[in-house]
Structure 1
Amino acid sequence: MTAAWWVLPVAYALDRLLGDPRWLPHPVVGMGKAIAAIEAAIRRLVKPRAYRAAGLLLPLLVVGGSFALTWAVLLLLAQVSPWLAALAEAALIATTIAAKGLQVAGMEVCGHLRAGDMPAARRALGMIVGRDTAHLSEPEVARGAVETVAENIVDAVISPLFFALLGGAPLAMAYRAVNTLDSMVGYKNDKYIDLGWASARLDDMANYIPARLTALLLIAAAWFLRFNAKGAAAMVRRDAASHPSPNSGYPESAVAGALGVRLGGENSYHGVVSFRTYMGDKSRELEADDIPRTGRMLYWVSNAFVVLGTLLILVLSCGFNGS
């Protein structure tokens, strides 16, 4: 676990206050460059029939390297000052969290929808999703934003906080490497089906527990915010497992049930239409205000996890000191 009880809440507070400043170099950029370089080397040096075995190298080098580098930096700083190391750890953990960025991106789409500027709303959505957005209706733009915020409550917030709680900045940074790998090579297409299989599988494993914790917290958030908590719980039980991802269905179904809307349906990717399993029941059309409602649940869940995690650290610390 993190060395000092205050590291986790300080890291979260830094993200909420600052987000990801564009002027500050971000570790994910370095991870992306490393992944691209290693992939290029594998394709140059390894024959295609060995890609499946070579696919193990990507998580081994990138995830292991991210963990080792972060651990080494903090160890060196601790030789100078334990306080300096703790502050650096909080700053590093903050780079693995994207609660503010996720909220801001969703609200940008919402703002354009409220202003009736559909072209701008479609462009803003296109910055945060992979689907084609040029011809989407207002409910479909709202759906895209709600789905993205809901799904990324796990990837961008709860999972990095979960691993920071377990193993501090080194483990949180290792998780961010796992997630970055999945976003770059974890595709089931001809190009990555062999080279990216291990990265995709590792991402599924890493998010397994956080996704289910997030669903429970979203149900609690729905109750606290006076949304439909019973509907959230019912949709998680009914729909979560039918999502093509073993993890994404949990936050999406919880949000769908809490808001009383239906997520999923047809999406177009580079002109190719695919169907995403429905989450929730369609009691009404999605609207712009569903985006900030999802954002409120995002912040409630994030706040709750940080408070509970900090209390756990304090309790365990007291227990060890008492023994």
Structure 2
Amino acid sequence: MIFYSMKELLLLAAAAIAIDWIVGDPKWPTHPVIWIGRLIRQLERLLAPDRFVSQPSVVRALGVVLTVVTLVISCGSMWLLVWAADAVHPWLGYAVSAWFISTTIAVKGLKEAAMLVYQPLIEGRLDEARKYVGYIVGRDTTKLDERESSRAAVETVAENTVDALVSPLLFALLGGAPLAMLYRAANTLDSMVGYRNEKYTYFGWCSARTDDVLNFIPARLTGVMLTISAFCLPQMKAGQSLRAIRSFAHLHPSPNSGIPESAVAGALGIELGGTNMYFGVPSERARMGWPTRPLQPNDIVLTVRLLYSVSFILFIGVIAVWFVVR
């Protein structure tokens, strides 16, 4: 295996953040997440859990196979690619590693997706805003008003500060591009099959639990960094952000998502959570934060600023550590 030193991993992580800031999420059909998604769908068809719908234990076992095979192929393929590039020349190995780590990060892409909701909202084009909200959330969007559309975008940016930034970067620091891609595969599995519904309750159980485990530490680090960011940015309440994490995070159905969402709610002085509709069925989510004003479209912009602030803290942090360890 290609073993990079801590100094090399720190520089690769910093380079990946910078690449994402500048390039963003590539739209090419060769994006690794697209191929991971295709792999998951092929494996799902091959395993055909519908044949065993009356045997939950078997379906759950098939879900474990899906998770393990997807993670092994994703991590192994990335390792082989880095190994081949490094065999040609070490600098090519560095370039391939930095590039593919950057594809597991999506700060710029997340900002662009949020702005696609924000811009039509402030221009009064609610139907268009609903359309773009539907690209980033799983809930029904056809009847969302301005406030609910804004809430959906804010919650997505807050939650994905973990999934699209802190978690992949932490795994990159632990094991370079292969581990970063393993994390991205686990997160993709969760987004595709990690649902508690009739089809995926058992088949997606392992995928959902794996994502929860991998995000456990990064989510808590994200809560700390969001609080620090709130302290550094105007119009933010750092102390209230920290208190909101303590008061509300545990009320969220996810063991991790409640941390960034409550941190953002506290920092902005707004309320997140409430009633979401899924396939016409209402689902009540815990309400987080102590609202001092109504939630509005500009909160999307403020949440994106928090996201970028966290990415800046991480960038400065890895560079600072590099200077210490070099």
Match of 1:39 among 37, 41, 44: 44
Looking at structure 1, the residues matched to 292 and 271 of structure 2 have their Cα atoms a distance apart, in angstroms, of 8
Partner of 1:321: none
Which shifted more, 192-201 or 293-302? 192-201
Q: Is the 8 A contact 2:11 2:322 kept in 1?
A: no
Q: Is the 8 A contact 1:178 1:202 kept in 2?
A: yes
* 2:264 is equivalent to residue 255 of structure 1: yes
The structure-2 alpha-carbon separation of the partners of 1:272 and 1:46, relative to structure 1 and needing over 3 Å to count, comes to closer
Alpha-carbon distance, 1:23 to partner = 3.2
The structure-2 alpha-carbon separation of the partners of 1:272 and 1:310, relative to structure 1 and needing over 3 Å to count, comes to same
Q: Is the 8 A contact 2:49 2:59 kept in 1?
A: no
Q: Is the 8 A contact 1:165 1:309 kept in 2?
A: no
AA aligned to 1:131 is R
Match of 2:89 among 59, 66, 81: 81
User: After the TM superposition, which residues 63-212 of structure 1 pair with which residues of structure 2 at under 5 Å, given as runs?
Assistant: 63-212=71-220
The SS at the match of 2:199 is coil
- Could you list the runs of 5+ residues in structure 1 that have no partner in the other structure? 319-323
Identity %: 47
Alpha-carbon distance, 1:310 to partner = 3.4
Q: Is the 8 A contact 1:161 1:306 kept in 2?
A: no
Superposed CA offset, 1:106-130 (max 9, x none) = 1121111111211111112111111
AA aligned to 2:227 is I
Q: Is the 8 A contact 2:49 2:62 kept in 1?
A: no
Partner of 1:8: 13
Alpha-carbon distance, 1:46 to partner = 6.8
* 2:305 is equivalent to residue 296 of structure 1: yes
Alpha-carbon distance, 1:2 to partner = 5.1
The SS at the match of 2:48 is helix
* 2:26 is equivalent to residue 21 of structure 1: yes
User: After the TM superposition, which residues 47-62 of structure 1 pair with which residues of structure 2 at under 5 Å, given as runs?
Assistant: 47-48=52-53, 49=55, 50-62=58-70
The SS at the match of 1:56 is helix
AA aligned to 2:248 is D
AA aligned to 1:285 is P
* 2:315 is equivalent to residue 315 of structure 1: no
Q: Is the 8 A contact 2:270 2:290 kept in 1?
A: yes
- Could you list the runs of 5+ residues in structure 2 that have no partner in the other structure? none
Superposed CA offset, 1:13-45 (max 9, x none) = 111111123235211111111111111111179
Partner of 2:286: 277
Q: Is the 8 A contact 2:11 2:318 kept in 1?
A: no
Superposed CA offset, 1:251-285 (max 9, x none) = 00000000000000001112111111111122211
Which shifted more, 224-233 or 113-122? 113-122
The SS at the match of 1:291 is helix
TM-score, structure 1 as length reference = 0.94
Alpha-carbon distance, 1:309 to partner = 2.6
The SS at the match of 1:127 is helix
The SS at the match of 2:273 is strand
Looking at structure 2, the residues matched to 173 and 216 of structure 1 have their Cα atoms a distance apart, in angstroms, of 25
Q: Is the 8 A contact 2:21 2:108 kept in 1?
A: yes
Looking at structure 2, the residues matched to 238 and 2 of structure 1 have their Cα atoms a distance apart, in angstroms, of 41
Looking at structure 1, the residues matched to 221 and 50 of structure 2 have their Cα atoms a distance apart, in angstroms, of 42
Alpha-carbon distance, 1:208 to partner = 0.3
The structure-2 alpha-carbon separation of the partners of 1:138 and 1:44, relative to structure 1 and needing over 3 Å to count, comes to closer
Q: Is the 8 A contact 1:2 1:164 kept in 2?
A: no
